[in-house]
Chain A
Amino acid sequence: MGIIRAVNLIFDYIRHDDEQDKDEINHALRGVSLDIEEGSFVAILGHNGSGKSTFAKLMNGILLPTDGTVYISNMKTSDEEHLWEVRKTAGMVFQNPDNQIIGNVVEEDVGFGPENIGVPTEEIWERVDKSLEAVGMTAYRLQSPNKLSGGQKQRVAIAGVMAMKPRCIVLDEPTAMLDPNGRREVIKTVQELNKQEGITVLLITHYMEEVIEADRVVVMDDGQIVMDGTPKEVFSRVSELKEYRLDVPQVTELADELKAAGMDLPDGILTIDELVDRLVPILKEERA
């Protein structure tokens, strides 16, 4: 049984229309079940409005499901008594880097979480030191968050979550507002935390290149899970991904098109090296 277990989740947004005096129901999630193994790196892909962000917010009790249950290390998120334990276990990083940093100094922001859960002072310092180190932001500890780049702010936010010693981190489109440099920076940090600290990662995104190294990719569309597998498996279904309004990396697309034209290439090529290694013998042989 995994650290995160979502069972048959349903979530409805109800919007009240004053003029016509009726409620409009928007089904954000229509029966999502997912079991995530501890220590794995799982990416959730989906276009805007596919329900992936709603799903993320259900993971630590920010939202509660209309129906169905979320278990975080066997605690129900809907149990009031477990709420804080759930939030400690499953930390969350949000999209907008400015709107989640509370402290006026980097280290004070990282200490905010531990302060809230009543960690003794000495230990807060230890945790802050360790978390800043883990995201490579120690050199900036006394800076104002306003002076940092987008990628650095997100790393501070990640450190803030790490300081609560979570077993898993849910990142809700952490790179959507960043430039390519910032994106790489954040993804690298998350990958390191996963590999070195064994933290379970649930990364929600719509950038394909960020999920290539994930253990598992889940694709959502219209409030449901429509694909689930290794990156190789998922990316081998190029035309299907395009139907779900998603991209594929350029190499994957090129390989897919060459294959369609009759070349003998395997499915789901994800990296430049892989494609080139396959192409060279084919093209050389032809010429010989």
Chain B
Amino acid sequence: MLRDITLGQYYPVDSVLHRMDPRTKLFGTMAYIVSLFIADHLLAYVAATIFLVIAIRMSKVPVKFMVRGLKSVVVLLLISVSFNLFLTPGTPIFKIGFIQMTWEGVEFAAFMAIRLIYLVLGSTILTLTTTPNQLTDGLEKSLGFLGKVGVPVHEVSMMMSIALRFIPILIEETDKIMKAQMARGADFESGNLIQKAKAMVPLLVPLFISAFRRATDLAMAMEARCYRGGDGRTKMKPLRYEARDRMAYAFYLGYFVVIIAIKVLL
């Protein structure tokens, strides 16, 4: 189950998008999401589709791999589509009792579905082409100004990147602990809410103890490698805007002009 989620997984190939500055990608993703919510004309969606296709082609990530990420939002997609389909007032297509489907609803649902799919694909491209470390680096640098008002930006981003590294390990460990307790007759599924909560104790205690142990070990390992906070640190992969980033920003600008023009003119 958990291994099906593509969102938040890096796909290691070498492409222009992979090499692009994470800030450029972060900004682009945000701009793209905003554009999806501005867009309400067919032509705007054509533009958004072109944007997405270009990004996917440039990322060199197999489309199949990306589409797998959509599986995780199928339920959400179905719910929002059916809500729009049946609850939008307008010209009815058919009516059974109080349930009615309208032309407006069909249009709205279709746009909604496209928006949601594009939104997920757009952010999936970001995470597939950007290592979590680059992503936190990008956030750290973009939000660097907050450091001046006392927000520990470096520490927070370091914590995020460590969390990202340990989540898969802890998921695997949870699985092992569950199995070890099930081998002793533990039952995590049946019973009412209170019984279920109680059944979690044999899972959570070993998990927490292990997590604390890992934290202590990791702190020791980081110290042994001379980690002492953000001051005086250099970067292996410093963020520097290159020609491709400037081109990307120009492209975003062009894209936005088109989206807004469609919005205003049509």
| Interface membership of B223, Cβ < 8 A | yes
Whether the Cβ atoms of A102 and B222 lie closer than 8 Å is yes
Question: Please, which residue of chain A has its CB at the minimum distance from the CB of B225?
Answer: A113
A168→B172 CA distance, assembly (Å): 35
Whether the Cβ atoms of B234 and A100 lie closer than 8 Å is no
- Provide the main secondary structure of the chain A interface: helix
**In chain A, residues 142-172, which have Cβ atoms closer than 8 Å to a Cβ of chain B?**
142-146, 160-161, 164
Whether the Cβ atoms of A91 and B224 lie closer than 8 Å is yes
Chain A residues with CB under 8 Å of B156's CB are: none
Whether the Cβ atoms of B214 and A116 lie closer than 8 Å is no
With A102-B162, A103-B165 given, is the CB distance from A124 to B234 under 8 Å? yes
Contact of B131 among A84, A105, A114 (CB under 8 A): A105
Stretch in B62-70, B180-188, B235-243, B244-252 with 4+ CB within 8 Å of A: B235-243
| Interface membership of A96, Cβ < 8 A | yes
| Interface membership of B148, Cβ < 8 A | no
Question: Please, which residue of chain B has its CB at the minimum distance from the CB of A84?
Answer: B226
1/0 per position for A117-137, CB-CB distance to B under 8 A? 111110011001000000000
| Interface membership of B218, Cβ < 8 A | yes
| Contact size range, B | 20 to 34
A125→B236 CA distance, assembly (Å): 7
Chain A residues with CB under 8 Å of B218's CB are: 99-100, 102
| Interface membership of A24, Cβ < 8 A | no
A89→B133 CA distance, assembly (Å): 27
The count of chain A contact residues (Cβ–Cβ below 8 Å) is: 42
A161→B132 CA distance, assembly (Å): 22
Chain A residues with CB under 8 Å of B168's CB are: 146
Chain A residues with CB under 8 Å of B226's CB are: 84, 87-88, 113, 116-117, 164
Whether the Cβ atoms of B234 and A121 lie closer than 8 Å is yes
| Interface membership of B78, Cβ < 8 A | no
| Interface membership of A192, Cβ < 8 A | no
Whether the Cβ atoms of A160 and B232 lie closer than 8 Å is no
A84→B233 CA distance, assembly (Å): 13
A104→B137 CA distance, assembly (Å): 12
Question: Please, which residue of chain B has its CB at the minimum distance from the CB of A88?
Answer: B226
Whether the Cβ atoms of A114 and B165 lie closer than 8 Å is no
Whether the Cβ atoms of B224 and A104 lie closer than 8 Å is no
| Interface membership of B227, Cβ < 8 A | yes
Chain A residues with CB under 8 Å of B238's CB are: 121
| Interface membership of A92, Cβ < 8 A | yes
| Interface membership of A111, Cβ < 8 A | yes
Contact of B225 among A87, A108, A120, A143 (CB under 8 A): A87
Question: Please, which residue of chain B has its CB at the minimum distance from the CB of A128?
Answer: B236
Question: Please, which residue of chain B has its CB at the minimum distance from the CB of A145?
Answer: B165
Whether the Cβ atoms of B133 and A104 lie closer than 8 Å is yes
| Interface membership of A35, Cβ < 8 A | no
Whether the Cβ atoms of A104 and B10 lie closer than 8 Å is yes
1/0 per position for A81-97, CB-CB distance to B under 8 A? 00010011001101010
- Given contacts A94-B220, A98-B214, could you give 7 more A-B pairs where the C-beta distance is less than 8 Å? A57-B220, A91-B225, A111-B236, A121-B238, A125-B236, A142-B12, A160-B225
A-B contact pairs, 17 of them (CB 8 A): A62-B224, A84-B226, A91-B224, A94-B220, A99-B213, A102-B165, A102-B218, A102-B225, A104-B164, A108-B133, A111-B237, A114-B234, A116-B228, A121-B238, A124-B236, A142-B12, A164-B226
